[in-house]
A and B are shown apart, each in its own frame.
Chain A
Amino acid sequence: MSFLPYMAAFYLLCIGLYGIVSSRSLIHTAFCLFILQSSTYVLLIAIGFVHHGRPPVFMPGRPALPAVDPVVQAQVLTDIIISAAVTGLLIALTLENYKRTGSINPNKRHAMKG
């Protein structure tokens, strides 16, 4: 039972990988990569969790501890922003691929054009 959150992260990783491998559309591939990246958020948040822990925002007059781990939360925060921007970049690449070849199927190979 205590491994369930880690297994959930692992499950997300696996279905993300399966989606990328079996993908028929580049947009689908980009979103599967996003799901794959979400597994890291679940893993990090699970690692930082503390039973009956408070949010790591300390108010005067309230007992400070125990609080959940602020370090992993900060990492998840920047992680989300970066993955959103990277997904945007991948969608832009897909769009450009569509303009050049008229297809977004990764299984079709096209000759490279300078």
Chain B
Amino acid sequence: MSRTARLMLFFLALGPFVLACCWAIAGLPRFSGPEHRYGALAADQSLSASKINNAVTAVTFDIRGFDTLAEEFILFAAITGILLLLRMKREEKQENDLDRARKGRIMFKTSGAVVFLGRHLMIIVALVGLSIALHATVSPGGGFQGGVIIASVMLIFIFVNSLHGAAEMLTRIFEIVESIGMLGYLACGVCGWFAGASFLENILPKADRGELLSGGLVPLINFSVLLAVAGGFCVLLLEFVKQELIHIRGDGQ
């Protein structure tokens, strides 16, 4: 279908779609209305049963723990797909410095200021990420947010250091970190079975509210999510950066 035909069809369909959506929006609960029965129940449950101050963490890892496991698997599957698509093919090989020089590509030398600032920034960003991730039960944050922040350390690392040679090893390491995270989450679930309870049931003794390790199983699940997300996003970033180093055999020679 040509682009013009597609646009015409789109605008034709837009009219009924807008009408249907306006009808749907009119039926939604009033904005900032008082009725949040499910939210109030969840907040209550997180305080009394899970003993967690941060209700969002309680919902994510305790009340909806099984859904979060499924979402973790979506992340895992997406990253496995990226690994599969961007792997080295038969006709590709990794470029080294000599190839680049032969093709006349300019090699930039990272300036000293960037290296100095980058090395310090890496430590600060990693610590902020860890702090946000590990204080999931007492303050806003959690494994997902902290994991992404820690993965951004990878970007600074690539910016500061030349990646030649280290890329393969780093990918291997972070693949293992991601898998440990996934297995950790599953192990937390299976623990319930061995204790005679159901899958992902919060069986560990719970500390008082406001403690770092309050919430029984939740800090463990949170930590495995941190590993899975940080590892997964590091692999994702590395795979895209490695594409820059690949060239197709026979190209330009």
Residue of B nearest to A97 (CB): B85
Is A91 positioned at the interface, with any CB of B under 8 Å from its CB? yes
- Interface residues as binary, A81-114 with B (CB distance below 8 Å gives 1, 0 otherwise): 1101110110111011001000000010000000
B interface: dominant SS: helix
**B59 part of interface (Cβ distance < 8 Å):** yes
Q: Are A85 and B56 touching (Cβ within 8 A)?
A: no
B18, B31, B46: the one within 8 Å of A70 (CB): B46
B34-49 interface with A by 8 A CB criterion? 34, 36, 38-40, 42-43, 46-47
| A28–chain B nearest beta-carbon distance, Å | 13
Q: Are the C-beta atoms of A58 and B31 separated by less than 8 Å?
A: no
Q: Is B171 an interface residue (CB 8 A)?
A: no
Which residues of A (40-78) have their CB < 8 Å from a CB of B? 46-51, 53, 55-60, 64-65, 67-74, 77-78
Which of A3, A22, A80, A91 meets B7, CB within 8 Å? A22
Q: Is the CB of A67 within 8 A of B3?
A: no
Question: Are B31 and A81 interface neighbours, CB within 8 A?
Answer: no
Distance A14 CA – B30 CA, assembled complex (angstroms):
22
A3–B236 contact, CB under 8 A? no
Is B54 interfacial (CB-CB < 8 Å)?
A: yes
Using A70-B55, A74-B60 as known contacts, say yes or no to A96 and B25 having CB atoms under 8 A apart: no
- In the bound complex, what is the Cα–Cα distance between A46 and B7 (angstroms)? 31
Interface of A is mostly: helix
Give Cα A24 to B3, complex, Å.
9
Assembled-state Cα–Cα distance A22/B9 (Å):
11
Within 8 A of A (CB), among B1-42: 2-3, 6-7, 10, 14, 18, 21, 25-26, 28-32, 34, 36, 38-40, 42
Determine whether B240 belongs to the interface, using a CB cutoff of 8 Å to chain A.
yes
CA distance A61 to B54 in the complex (A): 15
Residues in A whose Cβ lies below 8 Å from that of B64: 74
Using a CB–CB distance below 8 Å, which chain A residues touch chain B?
Answer: 2-7, 10, 13-14, 17-18, 21-22, 24, 46-51, 53, 55-60, 64-65, 67-74, 77-78, 80-82, 84-86, 88-89, 91-93, 95-96, 99, 107
List 9 A-B pairs, Cβ < 8 Å.
A3-B31, A6-B25, A10-B21, A49-B31, A49-B32, A56-B55, A58-B54, A81-B71, A89-B85
Name 13 extra pairs, CB < 8 A, besides A3-B28, A70-B46: A3-B26, A17-B10, A22-B6, A58-B54, A60-B210, A72-B39, A73-B59, A81-B148, A82-B71, A84-B148, A93-B85, A95-B86, A96-B86
